[in-house]
Structure formats: C-alpha cells, structure tokens
C-alpha cells in the first residue's frame, strides 16, 4: 500500500511498487489527463509534478512518490487548500487565450512543464523555454504558440 | 443581398424526434458510454447537424473527427454564423457512424480525408444553421403574434425591437420543434459574416484540452472492460506457430491470454487481457511465442530504393501529358545515369535530377488504439474514428453482420495525420478479432486494444518511399521547353475504399498529384511506375502524394532557375504569368519575407540562405520562404519560415494560421529527420529515440499571411506540409551551393539523437549538408 497526495487529496493504492505512476494515475485513479505516448521518457506527454518538480510519470515507480505530493493537469490551477496556483492559472488562461492546442494529446504534459518552468523562472528567455520544453514532444508542432504563450503567462504573472 | 437556397437532402432531416442529452460535450465519458438516450420533447433538433437545448446550449454535430485540424471549430463556425448563435453557447460532438446522414460527398462516404471537410461542409452546415434560425424565428413570431420579418437574432438573442420582446433560444425550442420545416432558407451575404473570418474566435475544443478532461480513446474506461496488449510478429505476414503463456498467466491481474487471427492487412498474434494497461504490458512481455514466418515478407528498404533508382531509368506508364510532342521526345532522349546532369543542346539546356524520399511513419502522439464491445445486436466501437463507412464495412464483414450493426462512437483523436483512416481498417480489425477471441473464452466484455509506441511505429502503413527522376529542357528565354518526370513508388489507393475514384488505368492519381506544379511548360510528361510486389504496408500520410511530388518539382524548378541564372522568385513568377492566383501567393510570400533585400549576415561565420517553394493541393495554394543558417561547424538552423496561403474565403483565420504552423512543423520534422527503414523485413525504428521528432528548440519562427478571398473555402490541414522540404533544401543551396536531393536531410541525425536522447542538450537540428 502506497499513500501520497494527488491534487490536494490523499490517496492510497494497493499496487506493486514498481507500477509506474502514469498507470496508477490513469488506470487506478482515473486521472486520464496525464497521457501515455511512449515507454521511455522520450516524449514528455506524461509529465506531472512531484513535490513541485516536473517528472516523467511513465518511468517513475509508484513507490518513489510514497508520502509525496503529485500534481497533474487536473490540479494545476488549485492547491491543496483550494487556493489558486498563480502559475497554473496563468498558464491555463494563456493557453486558452492564444489557442495553443491542436489534437491536444500532448498538451497536459506541455502545460505541466510550462508551470514548472514559470515557478522556478518567472521571466524565461526563448533559450530558457527551449531548454525547459524541448523534452516535451508535440507532433502537431504547436511549438510556436507554446513559446509565445509562456511569455504571455509570464507577463500576466509579473503584472 | 441574401441568396436563396433550397435545402438539400431533406430525407436526412429529423424533426420532432427529440433524442440526446442537451449540453453534453463531445468526449464526455458518460456520453460515450451512455445507454440509449431518453426522449426529451424540449430539445430542438431541426436537422442532423444541430441540437438546441432549453439551457440555450447549441450542440453542433460534426461528421468529421477532430484530430487537431480544428474541424470542430470550423463546422461550428459555419453553422453558428447562420444561426446567429452566441459562440459561448456552442459545443460540438462527433457524429455517429451513419453514411445516410453524414457522408462527405467529396469522398463518397463518411470519413475525414484529404482536406475536404470545409469544402464539403460550407454549404450544408450554413443551411442547417439557417434552418434552425428560421424555425426559432417562426416560433417567436407565433408566440409574440408578430411578423417574423420584424424579428432579429444576434448572439443567441431573439428580439422584436418594435414590441421590445426578447428571449434566448432555450425558451423557444419546444415551440420550434413543432413547426414544419421551411422549404428553403436564406443565407447571409458574406459581408454580414460575424463569426466566419473572425480572427478572435477561439477553438471550441480548447477548454477541455487544457484541463485534462478531453476524452481520447486511450482514456475511455467502460464497466467490466479489459485492456488488451497484443504481441505482434516482427515481420508482416507471420503467424503464431505456438506460444507459452504460463509466465504471463502467473501475473496478478492478467485475466486471460488469447491467440487471435489476423488477415491480409492486419496482424495476427497473442493478446494479453488484463485489468489495467500496465499489467497487460507486463503480461505481454512475459509471453514466449514461436512465429511461423513461412508466409512472412522480408522487404528491405535499401534494396527497394536501389531498385526504384533502376526503374526510374526506364519509361513508366504515361500518367499525364500536355504540350508539344517534339519537345517531349527531346526530353525522353537517353541520358547519363548520374543523379544530376546538365548539358547544352544547341541553345537549350538539358537538366536531369533524381530525388528520393523514404518511408515515413505518421507517429501521432496517441498510439493507435480501439475499444470494441460485442453486443447481442452487433458491436459497438469507440475510436478516434476517421473512416466510419469503410470501418463499419470491414468490421461487419469480419463478424458476418451488416454494417448498420456496427455502431461507432467518434472520440477525439490524439493526432492522426491520416493514420486513423486506415484503408484496410487494420488496428480496428485487430481489436475486433481480439474481442471475438476473448468472447470465445467467455470474456464478452468491452475490450480496449492498446498499441504501445513500438507497436505503432512498427505497425506498418507508412508513407511510401518514392524516387522521382526529372528531365527538363530550359529554353534560352528562361521558359521550360519540356518536363519529363518519372515517378516510382507504391500505390496507396490500390485496394483502398477510394480505389475506384483514384486509380484509373493503373495510374494512382495520388502518386502523381502535384507533379510539375502549376507552372507553364511547353510540354509535360508524367510517367509512373508502380511496383506491385513490394511488401511494405503503405498508406496516405499528411498531404498524400503532394508530400513527395512537391519536393521533387520545387527542387527541380530551383535547379532550373539556377541553370538559367535567374533569381528563383523571378523564375517562378515568369512561369506563373498565366496563373494570377498562384502568382499572387508567391508575391505575397516574397514581399513578406523581404525577398529582394539581402538577408542579414550570420554571426560567427554562419552562412545564411533563403529558399522558396510553392505548391497547390486540393484547391489551396501555399508559398513558403525558408531562412536558414549554416554555421562554421556545418550545423543547420532554420531561422524563420514565411508562409502565404490562399485557401479561398478564410473561415477561421486562427485555425488556418495554426494549421500552417503545424503543417510546416510536421513537414520540417520529416525533411530533417524522418525515415522508416526495414532490414530483412524488420522495421528498424521503434520509438522517438530512433524516429527523431521535431522538438521545440528546432522550431523556427513562422509568419503566416492569409490571402483575402471571397472564393469558396478550401482545406488547410494538409497544405502546409508539402512545400517546406523543397524550401529548406533550396535555402541550403542558396547558403552553401550544395544540392540535397535525398530526404531526410541528414540521416546521421539519428545517431546524434540516440547519443543524447530526449534532452534539450541534444541538438536535433544539427546537420551537415556536405555529408548528405
């Protein structure tokens, strides 16, 4: 039995320790916003935050998050106490304002990576964005808008 | 001035039968899984394309699948425009599979292919909106005892200014549902459009796709459902000889292991049925299978391309010709077998070049998957469904039932680029076959087949490899005296549901579409050789044949410009003298790129270059200017792409811009890195470390300029992709003098990526043009 916090709620799961967090979230906890797209941490579609840092849920064993705090796309805008998470709200609103999505399948991973970037670097340069986001694939190539949107969200956060 | 249109296909309209759940967004789990809807007499369903609820919600029914191309937004815009709906009230859901109501006339069946959605929907979706509006207005007039002529509709608000009465749609749905359908409706003059052409309109699917709630096939979970992962043979055509599932069955959570039959166009194998995806994957890993490879094919991509090069030296079937016979015969004179050669014959210049493109995977972010439930009355399928009518027929044939007994619920597709419209229903039939095998073992439950990334990449159905050999005579005045293009490659249409429409006298039109471009040529001859014995499963891929014909044609045009010592823009411009529309697109791209002013010099000794390409496909014309830098260390960086597009009347400028950006990015990815190779029948690539994708840091700035137009709208999903490869290699030529005629631009990229996987430290844009 492993116990951790997901999007502000404590959960306990009775699964093998080596079960990847991705499949615990998707198949056990029905949090399907976090996506499966590769098996080797090559694409970033499964990016979630563990204790505030971005990780690839497909290669993170559930045992490794025991006692920790996991944030998925479903929880990026609100913290455990129900308060708005500024970076999460700014990213989600900017994502909608600039209409980033196409097929949408990778966007959860993109947005969690973007939130993580802005929480550690509120004023990222293009190079900072490339460094933080290049591990997260988008086959629709929404990259131009992702870059613009992260700058836009940063401006909102600074205001 | 309003135009009057009689409603088409009156038999498809339903009124008074009020089904459905108002306000249910597409992809909602409960909608996908819900039982038969209950009658609700207050919901207004004027036709097959819209439903209006008492809560004012306007639900547009899209016959086309939303896979990123923005079709939900496009169709909703058309309908909401004529309905005068409030965009905030508009939702879209995918239509069920029903060819009687939802066929796309452009392809003669229900499906989403070839950038035809907006073309086909422009008239009927507006008519559907206008009809609903007319009925709501009539209902208001009846209730208020006023003339309908005095009623206005704006943003979902119905008003009668004279009497001061006003209400929203929801209050009138019950009354409107009782009225007879109008015989005809008026459509707006385009000058009155508020939503069509509005650059500020946001995507309908943006909200659900930014909070994790959008539902893809991968996300669907039905009561009692088992997840199936299937072991496939590594060679196409192999079958299971024997297997040992002892270890797999020992894994807690593995429910059963079932062998399943394949077919001519889909895998046979062994499926592990489990209560979740991870357990199914572990179970599959634990299988021991001996394969019977006696019927397996062993294609080898290097040998295939070598053979194509030889075939390109001999005449193919005449596919298209025009112009003077004499010049044609001059161009068909024997030439040296070198990849490119130029020689002067009298005062004309003969140029011959060969271009090659590899097999390509679609590699959508969501690997293929499909959920099947066998039922008493047939079966239910949930899928990012792109080719309903053909899939219904395939599934019905396999199970010995009728197509109408195959219900398909269309979910969001996590990308497709053509893959989910498989001409042979490959992964869908595999899912049905597994469900049948499971049912035979007593598991008559919903079965979700999940392909892993490796299953997807090795699953076949690639964009076919092609070799083009072009021989052209350049006249002293810079005109093209003759153009002979030999094309060698597999047919994607043969054996597909579109064969009758696309293959005539052995010529697959999709293999040659776009060859020669829109340019004036005194004589043109396109020859096609279609090898029928190549055992690599192939399929259309974003932009279909244009993906390779544009590359060969636009490279050769550039080579001819260089041979004529004429600026590539001016060279094309002259050849487009009789084609004002295409020339205007070319001019727009050149002007916005500042073609006539020199590029800013590169820093640190980098050489800069600018390349141009123009291509028209399915009615939409796109011109690109690519600006690149080649560093002192021979690294390629794509700095900027300027795009001009004429797609007729722009419906959603925001979506058009996104599709150009995305289409260019997808083509850039393929040009730089894309190649599926097979060695002795085995696909060499299995994941994104070996099939390198475009990443953020390699994405250039892309400036999109949309040509204003009142012509009927044409598609934008495919058209950004074809011209980027030639624009890129033409830019490399400008920068370095080096012609690249084989894609991908640098095969050695894979090695460098494999050395530093997935991290921003890797530089997938690094390429040595001199080395290719």
d(C-alpha B545, C-alpha B510), whole Å:
5
d(C-alpha B91, C-alpha B72), whole Å:
9
d(C-alpha B384, C-alpha B375), whole Å:
20
Residues 419-438 of B with CB under 8 A from A: none
d(C-alpha B767, C-alpha B749), whole Å:
7
Superfamily designation of domain A2-75? Beta-grasp domain (3.10.20.30)
Q: Considering the domain boundaries, does residue B390 fall inside one?
A: yes
Cα atoms found within 13 Å of the Cα of residue B222, Cβ hemisphere only: 22
Q: Considering the domain boundaries, does residue B302 fall inside one?
A: no
Q: Indicate if B57 and B101 belong to the same structural domain.
A: yes
CB contact under 8 A, A103 and B67: yes
Residues 189-248 of B with CB under 8 A from A: 202-203, 205-216, 218-219, 221, 227
CATH number where B423 lies? 3.30.365.10
Shortest Cα distance, chain A CAs vs residue B407, angstroms: 24
- The burial class, CB within 10 Å (0-12 / 13-18 / 19+), for B154 is exposed
Q: Indicate if B517 and B481 belong to the same structural domain.
A: yes
**B763 at interface of A, judged by CB pairs closer than 8 A:** no
Contacts of B367 in chain A (CB under 8 A): 36-37
Q: Indicate if B473 and B443 belong to the same structural domain.
A: no
Contacts of B697 in chain A (CB under 8 A): 130-131, 134
Q: Quote ipTM for the complex.
A: 0.98
Q: Indicate if B643 and B708 belong to the same structural domain.
A: yes
Q: Model confidence over A44-103: pLDDT tens digits?
A: 999 999 999 999 999 999 999 999 999 999 999 998 888 999 999 999 999 999 999 999
The answer to whether residues B602 and B627 touch, using CB atoms and an 8 Å cutoff, is no
The answer to whether residues B450 and B369 touch, using CB atoms and an 8 Å cutoff, is yes
CB contact under 8 A, A138 and B664: no
d(C-alpha B50, C-alpha B43), whole Å:
10
Share of residues in chain B with pLDDT > 90 (%): 85
HEC per residue, B547-559? HHHHHHHHHHHHH
Q: Considering the domain boundaries, does residue B306 fall inside one?
A: no
Class of A86-158 per CATH? mainly alpha
Instruction: Return all residues near A90 (Cβ < 8 A) that are at least 6 apart.
Output: A118, A153, A154, A156, A157
Q: Model confidence over B726-767: pLDDT tens digits?
A: 999 999 999 988 899 999 987 543 333 334 333 333 333 333
Parts of chain A belonging to CATH 3.10.20.30: 2-75
pLDDT at B334: 44
Q: Indicate if B608 and B661 belong to the same structural domain.
A: yes
Q: Of B23-32, B278-287, B461-470, which range is least confident?
A: B23-32
Domain span including residue B506: 312-359+462-771
H/E segment holding residue B4: strand B3-6
Residue finishing a domain among B210, B232, B250: B210
B11 pLDDT exceeds 50? no
Q: Considering the domain boundaries, does residue B305 fall inside one?
A: no
Mutation target vs B (from A36, A40, A72, A115; most B CBs, 10 A cutoff)? A36
Q: Indicate if B653 and B751 belong to the same structural domain.
A: yes
d(C-alpha B665, C-alpha B667), whole Å:
5
Q: Which of B218, B363, B415 sits opposite A103 (nearest CB)?
A: B415
The number of distinct structural domains making up chain B is 3
First-to-final CA distance of chain A: 44
Parts of chain A belonging to CATH 1.10.150.120: 86-158
CB contact under 8 A, B210 and A133: no
Phi, psi of A42 (to 5 degrees): -100, -15
Q: Model confidence over B99-153: pLDDT tens digits?
A: 999 999 999 999 999 999 999 999 999 999 999 999 999 999 999 999 999 999 9
Q: Indicate if B30 and B94 belong to the same structural domain.
A: yes
Contacts of B221 in chain A (CB under 8 A): 27, 30, 32
Q: Where are the alpha helices (DSSP H) in B504-619?
A: 509-512, 546-564, 568-575, 580-593
**Pairing between strand B480-489 and B507-508?**
unpaired
Q: Indicate if B74 and B34 belong to the same structural domain.
A: yes
| Mean pLDDT (chain B, rounded) | 90
Closest alpha carbon to B656 in B147, B61, B73, B146: B73
Q: What number of other Cβ atoms are within 10 A of residue B42's Cβ?
A: 14
DSSP A7-47: TTEEEEE-S-TTSBHHHIIIIIS--TTSPP--SSS-S-TTE
User: Using the 8-state DSSP alphabet, how is residue B713 labeled?
Assistant: P
**B414 at interface of A, judged by CB pairs closer than 8 A:** yes
Closest alpha carbon to B65 in A103, A140, A33, A35: A103
Q: Indicate if B140 and B204 belong to the same structural domain.
A: yes
Contacts of A134 in chain B (CB under 8 A): 695-697, 759-760
Q: Considering the domain boundaries, does residue B644 fall inside one?
A: yes
Q: Which of A33, A106, A139 sits opposite B212 (nearest CB)?
A: A33
- Chain A's closest residue to B703, CA to CA, is A144
Q: Is the peptide bond before B577 cis (omega within 30 degrees of 0)?
A: no
Closest alpha carbon to B268 in B232, B228, B229, B295: B232
Residues 84-123 of A with CB under 8 A from B: 92, 95-97, 99-108, 111
What's the pTM?
0.92
d(C-alpha B719, C-alpha B19), whole Å:
38
Residue finishing a domain among B210, B238, B261: B210
Burial B271-292 (b: 16+ CB within 10 A, else e): bbbbbbbbbbbbbbebbebebe
Structure tokens at B71: 């079709």
**B277 at interface of A, judged by CB pairs closer than 8 A:** yes
């Amino acid at each position: 039995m492993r116990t951790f916090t997901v999007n502000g709620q404590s959960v306990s799961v009775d699964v093998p320790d080596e079960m990847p967090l991705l499949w615990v979230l998707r198949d056990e906890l029905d949090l399907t916003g976090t996506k499966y797209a590769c098996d080797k941490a090559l694409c970033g579609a499964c990016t979630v935050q563990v204790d505030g840092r971005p990780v690839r849920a497909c290669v993170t064993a559930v045992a490794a998050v025991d006692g920790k705090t996991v944030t998925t796309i479903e929880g990026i805008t609100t913290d455990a106490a129900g308060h708005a998470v500024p970076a999460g709200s700014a990213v989600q609103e900017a994502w909608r304002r600039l209409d980033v999505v196409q097929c949408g399948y990778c966007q959860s991973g993109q947005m969690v990576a973007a939130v993580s970037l802005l929480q550690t670097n509120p004023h990222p340069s293009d190079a900072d964005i490339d460094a933080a986001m290049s591990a997260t694939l988008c086959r629709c190539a929404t990259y131009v808008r992702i870059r613009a949107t992260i700058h836009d969200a940063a401006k909102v956060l600074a205001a | 001035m309003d135009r009057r249109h009689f409603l088409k296909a009156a038999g498809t309209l339903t009124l008074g039968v009020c089904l459905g759940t108002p306000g249910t967004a597409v992809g909602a789990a409960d909608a996908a899984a819900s039982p038969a809807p209950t009658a609700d007499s207050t919901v207004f369903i004027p036709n097959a394309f819209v439903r209006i609820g008492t809560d004012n919600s306007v639900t547009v029914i899209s016959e086309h699948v939303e896979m990123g191309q923005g079709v939900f937004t496009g169709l909703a815009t058309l309908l909401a425009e004529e309905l005068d709906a409030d965009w905030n009230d508009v939702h879209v859901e995918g239509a069920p599979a029903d060819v009687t109501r939802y066929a796309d006339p452009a392809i003669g069946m229900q499906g989403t292919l070839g950038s035809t959605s907006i073309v086909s929907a422009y008239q009927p979706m507006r008519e559907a909106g206008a009809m609903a509006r007319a009925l709501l207005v009539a209902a208001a007039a009846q209730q208020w005892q006023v003339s309908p002529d005095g009623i206005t509709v704006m943003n979902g608000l119905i008003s009668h200014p004279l009497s001061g009465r006003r209400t929203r749609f929801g209050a009138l749905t019950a009354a409107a549902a009782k009225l007879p359908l109008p015989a005809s409706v008026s459509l707006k003059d385009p000058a009155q459009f508020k939503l069509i052409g509005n650059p500020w309109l946001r995507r309908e699917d943006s909200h659900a796709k930014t909070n994790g709630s959008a539902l893809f096939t991968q996300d669907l979970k039905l009561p009692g459902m088992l997840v199936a992962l299937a072991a496939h043979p590594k060679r196409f055509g192999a079958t299971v000889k024997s297997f040992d599932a002892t270890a797999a069955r020992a894994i807690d959570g593995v429910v059963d292991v079932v062998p399943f039959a394949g077919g001519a166009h889909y895998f046979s194998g062994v499926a592990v049925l489990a209560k979740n995806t991870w357990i199914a994957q572990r179970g599959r890993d634990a299988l021991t299978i001996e394969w019977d490879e006696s019927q397996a094919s062993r294609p080898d991509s290097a040998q295939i391309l070598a053979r194509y090069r030889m075939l390109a030296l001999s005449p193919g079937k005449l596919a298209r010709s025009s112009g003077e016979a004499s010049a044609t015969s001059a161009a068909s004179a024997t030439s040296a077998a070198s990849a490119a050669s130029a020689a002067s014959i009298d005062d004309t210049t003969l140029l011959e070049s060969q271009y090659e493109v590899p097999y390509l995977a679609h590699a959508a972010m969501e690997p293929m998957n499909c959920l099947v439930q066998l039922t008493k009355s047939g079966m239910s399928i949930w899928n990012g469904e792109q080719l309903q009518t053909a899939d219904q027929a395939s599934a019905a044939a396999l199970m010995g039932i009728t197509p109408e007994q195959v219900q398909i619920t269309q979910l969001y597709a996590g990308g497709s680029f053509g893959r989910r419209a498989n001409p042979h229903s490959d992964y869908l039939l595999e899912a049905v076959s597994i469900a049948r095998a499971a049912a035979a073992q007593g598991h008559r439950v919903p079965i979700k087949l999940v392909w892993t990334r490796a299953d997807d990449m090795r699953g076949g159905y690639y964009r076919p490899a092609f070799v083009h050999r072009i021989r052209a005579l350049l006249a002293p005045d810079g005109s093209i005296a003759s153009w002979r293009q030999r094309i060698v490659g597999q047919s994607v249409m043969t054996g597909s549901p579109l064969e009758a429409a696309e293959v005539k006298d052995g010529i697959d039109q999709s293999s040659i579409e776009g060859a020669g471009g829109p340019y004036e040529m005194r004589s043109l001859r396109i020859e096609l050789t279609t090898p029928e014995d190549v055992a690599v499963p192939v399929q259309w891929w974003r932009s279909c044949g244009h993906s390779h014909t544009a590359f060969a044609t636009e490279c050769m045009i550039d080579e001819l410009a260089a041979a004529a010592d004429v600026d590539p823009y001016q060279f094309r411009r002259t050849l487009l003298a009789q084609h004002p529309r295409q020339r205007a697109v070319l001019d727009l791209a050149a002007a916005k790129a500042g073609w006539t002013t020199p590029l800013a010099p590169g820093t640190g000794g980098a050489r800069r270059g600018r390349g141009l390409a123009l291509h028209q496909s399915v009615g939409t014309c796109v011109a690109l200017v690519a600006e690149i830098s080649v560093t002192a260390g021979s690294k390629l960086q794509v700095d900027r792409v300027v795009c001009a597009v004429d797609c007729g009347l722009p419906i959603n400028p925001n979506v058009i811009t996104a599709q150009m950006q995305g289409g260019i990015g997808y083509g850039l990815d393929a040009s730089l890195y894309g190649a599926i190779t097979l060695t002795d029948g085995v696909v060499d690539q299995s994941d994104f470390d070996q099939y390198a994708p475009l990443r953020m840091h390699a994405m250039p700035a892309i400036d999109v300029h949309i040509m204003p137009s009142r012509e009927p709208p044409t598609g934008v999903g495919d058209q950004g992709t074809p011209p980027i490869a030639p624009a890129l290699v033409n830019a490399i030529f400008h920068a370095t003098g080096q012609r690249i005629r084989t894609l991908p631009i640098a095969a050695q990229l894979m090695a460098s990526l494999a050395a530093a996987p997935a991290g921003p430290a890797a530089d997938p844009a690094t390429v040595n043009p001199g080395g290719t």
